[in-house]
A and B are shown apart, each in its own frame.
Chain A
Amino acid sequence: MYVFVCENSIDGIFTGVYDAWASKYGHKNIRLTVCPPDTYTLFDEYITVSTDYERSGKVARTLLQRLGEETYAELCQAASALEESSKRKKYMDKADALYHTIVLALSLKDGSKVLNYLGDPFVNRVFELSRSTGNEAHHLLGFLRFQELENGLLFARIHPKNYVLPFLGEHFADRLPQENFIIYDKAHSQAALHPKGKGFFLTDASSLNEEMLNRFSPEELEYQKLWCRFFDSIAIEARINPKLQNQNIPIRFQKDVIEFTK
């Protein structure tokens, strides 16, 4: 086996796909991984992939062209998913699942249909990962809360499992074109910045000044109060059901949602 060890990002994985394909070792003899192994096995050869935007861009263009926008978006979602490692359950590595799904897709007459073939274990894993990212992104479209800071800027803090920031940035840039806003993904130390009237961009946020973020505009607390009051009065007493509530808005989201923290 030839094991390509790549960086855990869309570009890292796509570069890995490029290198693995170009190596001509034969798809059956190739494995991709985003986790550098703890113990190297004797009969496998390990190849470290250094992320290269030119090569990953080539892969992205090919996929977009051959598989269509929808399937391409699903593959990106899968690549953004959290790589879960648990001792109890051994998951298939997402980079490996993506590589073999891409190999299958490019061998099909109509590559856009590849994600239909859920009987294939690689495809199934990609489907699962993509759904996990998609679901979390969809949750956050609703659960994300902006707070207005002193300078009129809207600021939101989130702690997602998967890397969903690009999907959120796109949604809110379309929704709030005339606002300056920042979405801060604390779990991944990244932020999406949107200046009024322009597109959004992603940036490293490890040096974010958190103190500035607690100075709200004078109206902000008023609207939070109004919203929390609405939130309380809209519930029907005869149907109170905290378990159902926590099932619908899982507790891990609640710490970033103002009506659950006040």
Chain B
Amino acid sequence: MNLQTSMNILDKLTILSDAAKYDVACTSSGVDRKGTGKGMGNSVAPGICHSFSADGRCISLLKILFTNECIFNCAYCLNNCGTDVVRAAFTPEEICTLTMEFYRRNYIEGLFLSSGIMISPNYTMDLIYQTIYQLRNIHHFRGYIHVKSIPGADPLLIEKTGFLVDRMSINLELPTAEGLRRLAPCKSRNTILKPMRQIQNRITDNKQELMIYRETPPFVPAGQSTQMIIGATPENDFQIMSVAEGLYQKFQLKRVFYSAFVNVNGNSMLPALPGGPPLLREHRLYQADWLLRYYHFQVSELLSEDRPDFNIFLDPKCDWALRHLEYFPVEINQASYQTLLRVPGIGYKSAERIVKARKRNQLSFDDLKKIGVVLKRALYFITCSGKMMYRTKLEEDYICQNLMRDKTQLPRDIREGGYQQLSFFDKDMQSDFQLTDARILPPGQQIVTV
């Protein structure tokens, strides 16, 4: 192991932020906390993005590892114990200083602290706890803190940490237990789901305690989240979304994040991905994830065992609508909120505005446009006071052809990068998986309950 002892803070920050960059959850949302006039910091529920890095992703939190030393050997991770990379570790004091000084200059909304596993899970988790304890109680920091809990750490340590942070997360890493066994042999479904269940139960208890006694310290008030790597193992979209749905329903997670796999250490057990990371697939999964959380959709409505993957050319909502033309057209001035949610081009905010605005005036297409409805998608599916916007046919092929002309169906980077992504998505992925001689699992496999 290549552990440097005499390293300055700039080098450490370089190594330990570089090592943390594949963690996706950089949001600072879910908690409203006013300042107290003492110490430093507050928190606003919608979250605040402070910058956007060269890959276009939001930077909200100081996202770092405590250390990139690790005793685990997860195949997909650059920091696993077998790779030859420069290792570094912060001290709790260094992390506190960086956080406070960055925060007061308004670079960041708070801290996102994860870590490789140094010596043992408990040892590492305790270091994280010490750091957060100092930050909250010595520096009186009231900004946002997101901590990764370390798989295999003592439940007591997780509980103590949970009272200091806003969000906790444990990465599910791979959608199926089989994938985890193969690629991350030191982790198991058990060491991941057990603490997830523990945190969930503690959050529920805490909410009841808070109702009785307001001064109770809040436990993980912004809820927990998790992350799955997409495209490292052969699961289809149906399996991935079913796992996500299970996590939302059974573990009451706030968010599930999807991270397009990047082959960082050329491991032969993993697909090579010559076309780059599967970004379009990630994009479709996020779109579907929003449909689950905000639009009352169920996975079984979007995908099935016969149609296990998302349409490449159309977003999941358009795709659903085209297969269910019997529900359309919808009358804007009468349809229920739930019905409006299902119309392509109408977001949940627009749907809310429509329901409120139509109490006073009948809405016209012009009004809808001002409210924020994307008419080029919605016009095939709606009427205003009984009239459609143009003469259109309610016919799958006709609407599909017109929707495909809409450029926004594909994210711009993929559109302009040519269709390399798409062909990779179509064929190469299959052959990549054959290289790995992984068994394709039967679809619909449910996650185990603890």
Knowing A117-B357, A223-B105 touch, does A175 contact B42 (C-beta < 8 A)? yes
**Would A231 and B53 count as touching, CB distance under 8 A?**
yes
- The answer to whether B21 touches A244, judged by C-beta atoms less than 8 angstroms apart, is no
Q: CB within 8 A of A142: which of B50, B277, B359? A: B50
| Count of chain A residues with a beta carbon within 8 Å of a chain B beta carbon | 54
Which residues of the other chain, A, contact B338 by a CB distance below 8 angstroms?
Answer: none
CB distance from A219 to the nearest CB of B (A): 8
Residues in B33-55 with C-beta less than 8 Å from chain A: 34-42, 44, 46, 48-55
Once A118-B371, A175-B35, A175-B40 are accepted as A-B contacts, the answer to whether A248 and B10 lie under 8 Å apart by CB is: no
Question: Does B396 count as interface, using CB distance less than 8 angstroms?
Answer: no
B282 (CB) vs chain A CBs: closest residue: A239
Is A177 a contact of B35 with CB atoms below 8 Å? yes
Is A143 interfacial (CB 8 A cutoff)?
A: yes
Question: A230 contacts B52, CB within 8 Å?
Answer: no
Q: Once bound together, how far apart are the Cα atoms of A234 and B62, in whole Å?
A: 10
* Contact status B18-A117, CB under 8 Å: no
Q: Is the CB of A116 within 8 A of B359?
A: yes
Q: Given that A178-B38, A226-B10, A235-B53 are contacting pairs, would A116 and B357 also be in contact in the complex, using a CB cutoff of 8 Å?
A: yes
Contact with A along B334-362 (1 / 0, CB 8 A): 00000000000000000001001111111
Closest to A257 in B: B51
With known contacts A145-B106, A241-B413, A233–B21 Cβ distance under 8 A? yes
B370–A229 touching, CB < 8 Å:
no
A172 vs B48: C-alpha distance when bound (angstroms): 13
B10 and A229 contacting across the interface, CB-CB below 8 Å:
yes
Q: Is there contact, CB below 8 Å, between A117 and B40?
A: no
Known: A117-B361, A244-B56. A238 touches B106 (CB 8 A): no
In the complex, per-residue mask of B255-287: 1 if CB is within 8 Å of any chain A CB, else 0: 000001010000000000000110100000000
Given contacts A178-B38, A178-B40, A233-B17, contact A119 B54 (CB under 8 A): no
Cβ B35 vs Cβ A226 within 8 A: no
**A128 nearest CB across to chain B (Å):** 7
B163 within 8 A of partner (CB): no
Produce 1/0 per residue, A212-242, CB < 8 A to B. Answer: 0000000100010111011111111011111
| Contact yes or no, B35 A119, CB < 8 A | no
Q: Which residues of B contact A230 (CB under 8 A)?
A: 13-14, 17, 62
What residues on B are CB-neighbors of A9 within 8 Å? none
0/1 interface trace, chain B 71-84, chain A, CB 8 Å (1 if under): 00000000000000
| Binary CB contact string for chain A from 160 to 180 against chain B (1 if under 8 A, 0 otherwise) | 000000000001101111110
The stretch of B96-104, B216-224, B399-407 in contact with A is B96-104
Measured in the bound complex, the distance between the Cα atoms of B282 and A241 in whole Å is 15
Q: Hey, which chain A residues are within 8 Å of B35, CB to CB?
A: 174-175, 177
Chain B CB within 10 A, most for which of A141, A239, A259: A239
**Chain A hits for B52, CB < 8 A:** 244-245, 248-249
Which A residue's beta carbon lies closest to that of B49? A142
The 0/1 profile, CB within 8 Å of A marked 1, for residues 14-26 of chain B is 1001101110000
* Residue A148 CB within 8 A of the other chain: yes
* Residue of B9, B34, B49, B277 contacting most chain A CB atoms (<10 Å): B49
Structural contact, A241 and B55, CB atoms closer than 8 A: yes
Q: Given A119-B360, A124-B367, A179-B104, decide whether A234 and B37 contact each other with a Cβ distance below 8 A.
A: no
A117 to B371 CA separation, bound complex (whole angstroms)? 10
A255 is an interface residue with CB less than 8 A from chain B: no
Q: How far is the CA of A225 from the CA of B265 in the complex (A)?
A: 29
Contact for B56 among A146, A175, A247, CB less than 8 A: A247
Q: Which one of B48, B57, B58, B262 contacts A238 once the chains associate, using CB atoms below 8 Å?
A: B262
Q: Can you list 19 A-B contacts with CB-CB less than 8 angstroms, sorted by A residue number?
A: A116-B356, A116-B360, A117-B360, A119-B362, A119-B363, A119-B367, A142-B109, A146-B104, A148-B105, A174-B35, A175-B41, A178-B40, A223-B102, A234-B20, A234-B59, A236-B22, A243-B416, A245-B55, A259-B51
Interface contacts beyond A177-B39, A233-B13, A245-B54: sample of 20 additional A-B pairs, CB < 8 Å, sorted by A: A117-B359, A118-B371, A119-B358, A120-B361, A142-B50, A174-B34, A177-B38, A178-B39, A179-B40, A225-B10, A231-B51, A231-B59, A233-B14, A234-B20, A234-B59, A239-B56, A241-B55, A243-B56, A247-B56, A248-B56
B residues sitting closer than 8 Å to A (CB atoms) are 9-10, 13-14, 17-18, 20-22, 34-42, 44, 46, 48-60, 62-63, 98, 101-102, 104-107, 109, 260, 262, 276-277, 279, 353, 356-364, 367, 370-371, 412-413, 416
